[in-house]
A = this chain, B = another copy of it.
């Protein structure tokens, strides 16, 4: 049985059009506007010469992330979280995910007692904002690190690997790469995959709300995810030219 066409006529293994625009916030240590189809996330890196209390005096650094959406990033307006007085569970989950993923490719000892904060602010949301945040935040972070090396603040780049992330899902029984919002709303399974340039996994988060998935489906989602991540890393490399492994 032939599969139905996707809403935007992409192939099931095709990424949405990708664009990285560097230095969107020129006063930040590094910043990039990542666009993946209609999804746009502004990622900015801030360096501070301090670390959280639990790390003080150990000579190691820290990388953390924050995430938010502008109210009209969405089709109907989403109220600001400050009105409720606290970040939602979804926001906290994403912030923890992005920070964890970034730390997995950073040499925290080589960073020294410094904190890099990556702000990921969604200007337009059309699905995949958390994975776009990881992919974009990696670029903003690497740019900030390159400048710290150029300024001799750091003697070498405290990075071990490229890092990118993508979403995959199962729509009407068919595994598909890089879901947009419409597809995501109808997906039986939603999977987020973050991988390093040497082909290892940093995060696998696969969730079935309406329908559990089989081993075979897991394998196909995995194959599609690697395909997409390889293309995202190619775009990262074009901008950054880092001497690091990539898919």
* Inter-chain contact A209/B104, CB cutoff 8 Å: yes
Whether a CB of chain B sits under 8 angstroms from the CB of A9 is no
Instruction: Name the prevailing secondary structure of the A interface residues.
Output: mixed
**A205 contacts across to B, CB distance below 8 A:** 204-206
Is the beta-carbon distance between B93 and A72 smaller than 8 angstroms?
no
Contact of A72 among B25, B82, B104, B124 (CB under 8 A): B25
Q: Give the docked Cα–Cα distance between A199 and B103 (Å).
A: 33
Q: Which chain B residues lie closer than 8 Å to A211 at the CB level?
A: 104
Please, how many residues of chain A have a CB less than 8 angstroms from a CB on the other chain? 62
Q: Is A110 an interface position by the 8 A CB rule? A: no
Please, what's the 1-or-0 string for A124-152, where 1 marks a CB less than 8 Å from any CB in chain B?
10000000000000000000000000000
Q: Contacts A25-B73, A46-B77 given: A203-B206 contact, CB under 8 Å?
A: yes
Q: 15 A-B residue contacts at CB 8 Å?
A: A25-B70, A25-B123, A42-B123, A44-B71, A46-B71, A71-B117, A81-B82, A104-B209, A161-B212, A201-B208, A201-B214, A201-B218, A202-B208, A204-B204, A205-B206
